Amino acid sequence: MCGIIGVVGKNPVNQLLYDGLLVLQHRGQDAAGIVTCDGNTFYMHKNNGLVQDVFQTRHMRSLQGNAGIAHVRYPTAGSSSAAEAQPFYVNSPFGIVLGHNGNLTNSTQLKEEMFRQDLRHINTSSDSEVLLNVLAHEIEHTAHSAVLNSDMIFEAVAGVHKRCLGAYAVVAMVANFGLLAFRDPNGIRPLVIGKSETEKGVEYIVASESVALDVLGFKLVRDVEPGEAIFIDMDGNFFSRQCAEKPKLSPCIFEYVYLARPDSVIDKVSVYQTRLHMGVSLAKKIAKEWGDLHIDVVIPIPDTSRPSALQLANALNLTYREGFIKNRYIGRTFIMPGQALRKKSVRQKLNPIGMEFKGKNVLLVDDSIVRGTTSKQIVQMARDAGANKVYFASAAPPVRFPNVYGIDMPTRDELLATGRTDQQICEEIGADALIYQDLDALIEAVQLSNPDIKMFDCSCFDGNYVTGDIDETYLNNVESARGDKLGHKKPANSSTQLDLNLVTIKEYEEAV
Ligand SMILES: O=P(O)(O)OC[C@H]1O[C@H](OP(=O)(O)OP(=O)(O)O)[C@H](O)[C@@H]1O
Ligand SMILES: NC(=O)CC[C@H](N)C(=O)O
Ligand SMILES: [Mg+2]
């Protein structure tokens, strides 16, 4: 779940893209990049690190032009190397840059095809570099001369849909032509369009989440439809077309649970409202099945679970208290690379307020339990702070299956709930009771805001993968390539990579 933005403006867009990336930082903390386009020239700066560490004044000054794209990365394929920071660039045809949110599920096969059939070299192990080269190849074949138009671009995107499987929300720029954005035929990852009327004319933006539009002063126009592509030329003319044969909206339900910011609206669903609904349905379950808990206080685990915990407390007529204080300078732990770093960061990030726990039966509410890194430590902190009973509620069902669409949880081994009953999970985290949301209730919580969404990608909860190409062999291959125990692999030919700073996750963990 990286964050992407693309803008065609009437003034320089460097600051706008930077500010937009800051707003999307919660979608990726590993690397950041901006490319601007001034006539026929691209200006690019990208590196590992948080947005405010990657860009210094001198970089910002060099990012010239009234159009550009930007990316924050949370790696789900390849390595964490700076060489895989996005956007990626290819010089032919025309000069194209691309930023990708999601994960291709057939990138190994595509990479092979790229080399053997299309005679293209992919320098990294990133699936996004493969995706860019597929797009470049398709554009090369639809454009008959040096003149490119939106019809040719849309035909090329139709070609991308035929070849690529998995999840991809994409922003791309073709030098001197314009901004292209598209979403895979299932619309797994989000992408919205915004607009701003200025004295000089209309400016357009596309971004992973509507919150970026709010903060940058754009009005939300609509979502990019699954399978749809939009193209905005350098003069600000807007074109759109459905490029997939059988589009079917099946957004990732985990966006609503955890990934997206609550103040975003995705596929006409307010993330905040959904999280409130999740709290109500969880409260109903507790009232029905867990009436004997005698809860004194409901405590959220900051940040993401707050709206659900608050509404759960309201629905049960219980006291809600902020029992954990979050260090505002520590980022999201779940999307940090490597288990040692995630584990260490939970304690650095959260600290209990003793008086909220001492002698009380506390119900801790989190949005989800994935590896159990947070819940195990939090339950212990509550006990150390003197709680009488520690109950734990998760606003999402048990996460039992790997995600292959852009969330880095590739192995069943690392998921706390895989192969365990609720009772065993409860024992693992050391709680006195554990209550999980039911999947039907979670789906209903989203559908209450938009009943038109009939299908979701719930694969991490139910093991049904909407792209239909995921089987046991695929999962086994991903597990052996990306398992946490392996560390994220350093590319075999690191010395030849365009990156002097390669560090594996393992080396990084050992260093901290
Ligand atoms: O079971 P785990 O593997 O620990 O994963 C789940 C936890 O990780 C996330 O929090 P995170 O700290 O990333 O972000 P937040 O501040 O948005 O809640 C999520 O909100 C849960 O608290
Ligand atoms: N989380 C994502 O969207 C990741 C995008 C891409 N697969 C990468 O690893 O860079
Ligand atoms: Mg959390």
pLDDT tens per residue, range 486-502: 544 444 333 334 443 33
Backbone angles phi, psi at 41, to 5 degrees: -115, 135
Residues 291 and 226 grouped into a single domain:
no
Residues 50 and 191 grouped into a single domain:
yes
Whole-number Å distance between alpha carbons of 49 and 83:
13
Whole-number Å distance between alpha carbons of 36 and 17:
9
Interface pTM, i.e. ipTM:
0.98
Q: Is 426 a catalytic residue?
A: no
Whole-number Å distance between alpha carbons of 397 and 400:
9
Q: Which pLDDT band holds residue 368 (cuts at 50, 70, 90)?
A: very high
Q: Which domain holds residue 373?
A: 276-326+344-452
Residues 106 and 210 grouped into a single domain:
yes
Residues 221 and 297 grouped into a single domain:
no
**Assigned token pair, 467:** 């792209």
Would 446 be classed as within a structural domain? yes
> In angstroms, what is the span from residue 317 Cα to ligand 3's centroid?
24
pLDDT of residue 124: 94
| Number of folded domains that form the chain | 2
Q: In angstroms, what is the C-alpha Rg of the chain?
A: 23
Would 338 be classed as within a structural domain? no
Mean pLDDT of 353-379: 97
Residues 280 and 240 grouped into a single domain:
no
Residue 204: HSE in the Cβ half-sphere, 13 Å Cα cutoff: 24
pLDDT of residue 506: 43
> In angstroms, what is the span from residue 404 Cα to ligand 2's centroid?
10
Residues 236 and 105 grouped into a single domain:
yes
Q: Report the largest interatomic distance among the alpha carbons of the chain, rounded to a whole angstrom.
A: 76
Nearest ligand to residue 259 Cα: 1
What residue ranges in 199-336 does DSSP mark as E strands? Answer: 201-207, 219-223, 228-233, 238-242, 265-266, 269-270, 297-300, 319-320, 324-326
Give the rounded percent of residues in the chain with a pLDDT score beyond 90: 87
**Assigned token pair, 472:** 């046991």
> For ligand 1, what atom is nearest to the CA of residue 367?
20
The rounded Cα 74 to chain-centroid distance in angstroms is 7
Give the tens place of pLDDT for each residue, 204-220. 999 999 999 999 999 99
DSSP-based three-state secondary structure for 444: helix
Q: CATH code at 350?
A: 3.40.50.2020
Residues 204 and 289 grouped into a single domain:
no
The rounded mean pLDDT for the chain is 93
pLDDT of residue 484: 62
Give the tens place of pLDDT for each residue, 92-123. 999 999 999 999 999 999 999 999 999 999 99
Residues 314 and 436 grouped into a single domain:
yes
Q: CATH code at 8?
A: 3.60.20.10
Asked whether residue 421 is marked as a ligand-binding residue, the answer is: no
Cβ 75 under 6 angstroms from ligand 2: yes
pTM: 0.94
Mean pLDDT of 378-392: 98
Residues 287 and 242 grouped into a single domain:
no
- In the block, tokens 């006291």 appear at 319
> In angstroms, what is the span from residue 85 Cα to ligand 2's centroid?
9
Residues 320 and 244 grouped into a single domain:
no
Give the tens place of pLDDT for each residue, 214-244. 999 999 999 999 999 999 999 999 999 999 9
Q: Worst-scoring range by mean pLDDT, 78-92, 129-143, 492-506?
A: 492-506
Check pLDDT > 50 for residue 87.
yes
Q: Are 195 and 203 in contact (CB under 8 A)?
A: yes
